[in-house]
């Protein structure tokens, strides 16, 4: 049986009620409440859970806020992850929206309200509504942090991990922009006229290999607000990793964390052979930020609308299928881990499929 005692101040005035449960096989449970009714209810529920074998020690989850958990996750986990710096903005958003709640109080309803509020929020960075993809990444981070708390740090959550019961925001349809008609010729012609001499070979390599922009070019993140330093996001392609005789480009670090070796077409090899060699070992003597601006201007001059540099990866992936490669072969080249993700980057033309039918 639980023991319920009143708590008095120095003047003998009752200021609260303490419930204490001593039961063999369980740690001592002590909690103080404002009213006797609350203390009695807690003791009844806790003893019932002990009898049914479903009791969960709540002390640490009640004393730990989500902000504190995410701070620990930031200190101990993010430094071990490739691209962990990208999670900092997501942690900040979660701490602003849910950080004051204890882990024990956090539930699926709160998280669903957070999801809906974020989807209706204007981003300070872009001036547009926060995207469904951004919110999905935030909920994914929250789930990973809660899972770490329960599995590695011994913080039991009374109701389990609440994020698993929350519906993910619906993502927009995958982009299906491909080069049409003579757009490739027009684009490359304007790339050749660009002041950025690296633009045309970078575009050709993207079309021929399906490599991500960061796998081709060095790129940087947002500058730190205190130091002004922009962290390096990707190193870009290095000559040390290119073998023109074997016609391969090795990528030791990729977005999904796995290394892969990309085969080079005859056109890709010819493009690389024509490039000058630099002392720093980089294949391209520019950054993605520099290429991006030059690419936008080249598209405008060529009269091409709605095309992004990342769309070239879609184009290249689709062409690999049109050449007759099977999904496993294409995934080995592009680095996609699942066929579902590969499908999002693949847009086959009906006329090309008709040719295969004979």
At what angle are helices 132-151 and 66-76 packed, to 10 degrees? 90
DSSP 274: T
Nearest to 207 by CA among 196, 197, 218, 199: 199
Catalytic hit among 144, 177, 255, 301: 255
Query: What is the pLDDT, as a whole number, of residue 66?
Result: 95
Mean pLDDT, residues 125-137? 88
Known catalytic residue at 336: yes
Residue tagged active-site, from 73, 114, 288, 345: 345
Query: How many CB atoms neighbour CB 219 within 10 A?
Result: 21
Torsion of Cα atoms, 346 then 238 then 263 then 295, to 10°: 40
Higher pLDDT, 81 or 35: 35
* pLDDT interval class at 128 (50, 70, 90): confident
pLDDT at 224 over 70: no
How far apart (Å, rounded) are the C-alpha atoms in residues 172 and 258? Answer: 27
Catalytic member of 212, 233, 314, 319: 212
Q: How confident is the model at residue 354 (pLDDT cuts 50, 70, 90)?
A: low
Ordered by start, the domain boundaries in the chain are 3-55, 62-165, 183-223+230-357
User: Residue 79 has what pLDDT?
Assistant: 86
φ, ψ dihedrals at 119, nearest 5°? -70, -15
Average pLDDT for 8-35: 83
In this structure, are residues 319 and 265 in contact, taking their beta carbons and an 8 Å threshold?
no
* Domain covering 183-223+230-357 assigned CATH 1.10.443.10 in the classification: yes
Q: Per residue in 23-34, pLDDT tens?
A: 777 777 788 888
248-293 tens-digit pLDDT: 999 988 877 778 999 999 999 999 999 998 888 999 999 998 899 9
In whole angstroms, give the CA distance from residue 75 to residue 85.
Answer: 11
Give the active site residue among 113, 277, 310, 323: 310
Coil, helix or strand at residue 12: coil
Residue 352 has pLDDT above 70, yes or no: no
Annotated active-site residue 250? The verdict is: no
Alpha carbon separation from 183 to 75, 189, 312, 320, 343 (Å, rounded): 48, 10, 12, 19, 24
Measured at the CA of 313, the angle between CA 308 and CA 315, to 5 degrees, comes to: 90
Q: Which of 90, 200, 313, 314 is catalytic?
A: 313
Instruction: State mean pLDDT over 36-47.
Output: 86
Q: Which tokens hold the place of 174? A: 């995958």
pLDDT digits (tens, 9 = 90+) for 47-90: 887 777 766 667 778 889 999 999 999 999 988 886 677 788 89
The predicted structure's pLDDT at residue 332: 87
Query: Catalytic residue at 73?
Result: no
Separation of alpha carbons 342 and 331, rounded Å: 7
Confidence band for 357, pLDDT divided at 50, 70 and 90: low
DSSP 121: P
Mean pLDDT of 174-186: 87
pLDDT of 127 > 90? The answer is no
Average pLDDT of the residues in 170-179 = 79
Q: Which CATH class is domain 62-165?
A: mainly alpha
Three-state SS at 51: helix
Candidates 207, 230, 203, 208; CA nearest to 219 is: 230
The bridge status of strand 248-251 relative to strand 260-263 is antiparallel
Tokens at 357, concatenated: 């039918």
The per-residue pLDDT for 355 is: 64
Supply the pLDDT for residue 292.
Answer: 92
pLDDT(201) > 80: yes
277 carries an active-site annotation: no
* CB-neighbour burial class of residue 254 (10 A; exposed 0-12, middle 13-18, buried 19+): middle
271's CB contacts (< 8 A; 6+ apart) are 201, 204, 205, 208
Percent of residues, the chain, with pLDDT higher than 70: 91
Least confident of 51-65, 191-205, 269-283, 313-327: 51-65
- Residue 158, classed as helix, strand or coil, is coil
pLDDT mean across residues, the chain: 86
114 is catalytic: no
Is 313 noted as a catalytic residue in this protein? yes
8 A C-beta contact, residue 28 and residue 50: no
Mean pLDDT value of segment 132-158: 90
Residue 151 makes CB contacts below 8 A (sequence gap 6+) with: none
Grade residue 295 by pLDDT with cuts at 50, 70 and 90: very high
């Amino acid at each position: 049986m639980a023991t319920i005692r009143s708590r008095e101040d120095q003047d003998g005035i009752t200021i609260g009620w303490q419930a204490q449960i001593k039961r063999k096989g369980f740690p001592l449970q002590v909690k103080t409440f404002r009213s006797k009714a609350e203390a009695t209810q807690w003791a009844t529920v806790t003893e019932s859970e002990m009898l049914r074998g479903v009791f969960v020690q709540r002390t640490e989850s009640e004393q730990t806020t989500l902000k504190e958990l995410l701070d620990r996750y930031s200190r101990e986990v993010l430094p071990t992850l490739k691209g962990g710096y990208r999670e900092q903005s997501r942690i900040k958003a979660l701490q602003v929206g849910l950080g004051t709640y204890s882990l024990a109080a956090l539930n699926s309803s709160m998280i669903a309200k957070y999801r809906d509020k974020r989807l209706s929020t204007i981003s300070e960075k872009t001036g547009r509504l926060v995207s469904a993809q951004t919110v999905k990444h935030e909920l994914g981070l929250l789930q990973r942090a809660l899972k770490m708390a329960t599995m590695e740090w011994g913080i039991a959550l009374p109701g389990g991990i609440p994020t698993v019961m929350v519906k993910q925001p619906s993502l927009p349809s995958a982009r299906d922009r491909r080069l049409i008609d003579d757009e490739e010729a027009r684009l490359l012609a304007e790339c050749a006229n660009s002041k950025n001499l690296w633009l045309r070979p970078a575009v050709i390599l993207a079309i021929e290999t399906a490599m991500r922009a960061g796998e081709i070019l060095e790129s940087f993140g947002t500058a730190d607000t205190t130091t002004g330093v922009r962290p390096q996001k990707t190193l870009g392609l290095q000559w040390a990793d290119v073998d023109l005789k074997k016609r391969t480009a090795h990528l030791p670090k990729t977005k999904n964390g796995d290394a892969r070796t990309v085969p080079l077409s005859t056109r890709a090899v010819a493009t690389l052979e024509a490039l000058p060699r630099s002392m720093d070992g980089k294949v391209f003597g520019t950054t993605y930020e520099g290429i991006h601006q030059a690419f936008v201007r080249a598209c405008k001059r060529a009269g091409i609308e709605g095309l992004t540099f990342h769309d070239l990866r879609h184009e290249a992936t689709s062409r690999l299928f049109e050449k007759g490669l099977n999904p496993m072969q294409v995934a080995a080249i592009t680095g996609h881990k699942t066929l579902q993700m590969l499908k999002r980057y693949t847009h086959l033309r009906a006329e090309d499929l008709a040719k295969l039918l004979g």
